[in-house]
Amino acid sequence: MPSPASYASPRSLGIAASVLLGLTGAVSLWNAAVVLAVGTSPDSVAGLALLGAGGIGEVLLTAATAVVFIMWLYRVRVNAEVIYPHGHQRGRGWAVGAWFLPFVNLYLPWRITIDVWQASGPAGEHGVPQPVPATVVNAWWSTWIAGLLLARMPAPATVTASEFCTAAAAVLAILVVRRLTAMQERHAQAARAVAAVPAYWAPAGQS
């Protein structure tokens, strides 16, 4: 059995993930501009150098971003168990493992993110989270999948479209990270406020 869930702030990981996502998006836009300028098979040495530099930079940044983003997702998945332990369709380990299984990784990371998003919504009656529209999560995932599919087509137009999709997905992922981190931090602040109230205290007129 997994150890009991405990809350830890996802803010630092969220900031790191957002910075890396921003850099990844910038490199994707650079690569799109290079492909538009010289194509995917340039004849000049300068064109080849530009494509090579952009490709290497994108691979390295994507790897670093993936590591930090998955760490952040695992952290918010564990936190979601503390906030609201019900409604999670998969165990917390899937927040990491789902990314590495072919075909499964086209759906399950999105599903886990949605579960965490809903569990982190504002507390309603009896502590049940109120529904929060997940439009930004759906837009992020759809755009990222579109970029993956377009990248498999070698034509300059589709390569460029793939890079634009990757850049857009990076921006949307930043929004997901920022909003979900903020949602969980509000829960943590509320819990600290409740814990700070002395047990013997009662509102005026109720003592």
| Per-residue model confidence (pLDDT) at position 205 | 44
| Per-residue model confidence (pLDDT) at position 40 | 57
Domain interval for residue 122: 11-193
In a domain, 198, yes or no: no
For the stretch 41-66, pLDDT in tens is 555 556 566 666 767 878 899 999 99
In a domain, 146, yes or no: yes
Distance CA 119, CA 85 (A): 8
Cα-based torsion angle of the residue sequence 10, 13, 18, 20 in order, rounded to the nearest 10 degrees: -170
- pLDDT tens over the chain, length 207 residues: 566 789 999 999 999 999 999 999 999 998 888 877 766 555 555 656 666 676 787 889 999 999 999 999 999 999 999 999 887 888 999 999 999 999 999 999 999 999 999 999 998 777 788 989 999 999 999 999 999 999 888 787 888 899 999 999 999 999 999 999 999 999 988 877 766 555 444 444 444
In a domain, 105, yes or no: yes
| Per-residue model confidence (pLDDT) at position 194 | 67
In a domain, 204, yes or no: no
In a domain, 87, yes or no: yes
Query: Which 3 state secondary structure label does DSSP give 69?
Result: helix
In a domain, 202, yes or no: no
Which helix (H) or strand (E) segment holds residue 25: the answer is helix 11-38
CA distances from 30 to 23, 35, 109, 129, 178 (A): 11, 9, 27, 41, 24
Query: Which 3 state secondary structure label does DSSP give 123?
Result: strand
| Per-residue model confidence (pLDDT) at position 37 | 75
* Contact between 167 and 21 (Cβ < 8 Å): no
In a domain, 185, yes or no: yes
In a domain, 142, yes or no: yes
| Per-residue model confidence (pLDDT) at position 179 | 98
**What is the number of structural domains in the chain?**
1
Of 13, 8, 137, nearest to 71 by C-alpha is 13
| Per-residue model confidence (pLDDT) at position 92 | 93
| Per-residue model confidence (pLDDT) at position 14 | 98
Of 180, 73, 170, nearest to 117 by C-alpha is 180
Of 143, 167, 176, 189, nearest to 72 by C-alpha is 176
| Per-residue model confidence (pLDDT) at position 35 | 79
